[in-house]
Amino acid sequence: MKYLAHFFSWVFLPLFMPTYGILISLFVPAYSTNMNMSSLYFAPTPSKWALFTIFFLFSVVAPGLSFILLHRFKVISTIDIERQRERSLPLLIMLVYSLVLFFLLVYKAGATQLPRYYYALPLSGVAVTSIFLLINRWIKISLHAAGAGILLGFLAVFSRSQDQFSIWWLLSALLAAGLTLAARLYLNKHTPLEVYTGFILALFFTAGIHTYLA
């Protein structure tokens, strides 16, 4: 069980979760009559991979390399940032990259060229990391749970906006969230309060921002 818990913790790293959502929204068959929330499933494949690459660079590669450098220079003691007092700078870095991603999308594609959930996702990252920066002063809120909440919130709004989209992907995200939360609790990385608070806040902030922009 311990090996499985570690496995799920790495597969569902917070940095990976938004990119999982982007992959699903780009390559899983979906169709909407609402142009503001339409799917890019029928977009040219090179365009879809280009969009995914932008998200991957600013959601995974850039913050991941930043955390490696912080660890190398002993600013953080572990890559997964286990100590509460070491989390402020990494959270601030994630906030900055989310802002950069949002403005890059607006600059490259314009504010109306992409479906609105692609702009809402980095804004959700800004909102979640901002509130977590404040909460981290009192509790070591779970970043893994936040990643699970962001993925589920994103797919919940996305699936609701599509006329044709398999509900099994939303159920898979729910299962992934359950496995992630259970793994963090089993490994004693967080208390139930830290896990459930992180998940609920990320879920509602993400769903709320996406719904507002829809």
- Would you list the domain boundaries of the chain? 2-213
pLDDT at 100: 95
pLDDT digits (tens, 9 = 90+) for 13-56: 999 999 999 999 999 998 876 655 577 888 889 989 999 999 99
The predicted model gives 175-191 an average pLDDT of: 93
pLDDT digits (tens, 9 = 90+) for 73-91: 888 888 778 888 889 999 9
pLDDT digits (tens, 9 = 90+) for 141-165: 999 999 999 999 999 988 888 888 8
Buried b (16+ CB within 10 A) or exposed e, 9-19: beebbbbbbbb
The predicted model gives 171-178 an average pLDDT of: 95
d(CA 124, CA 33): 24
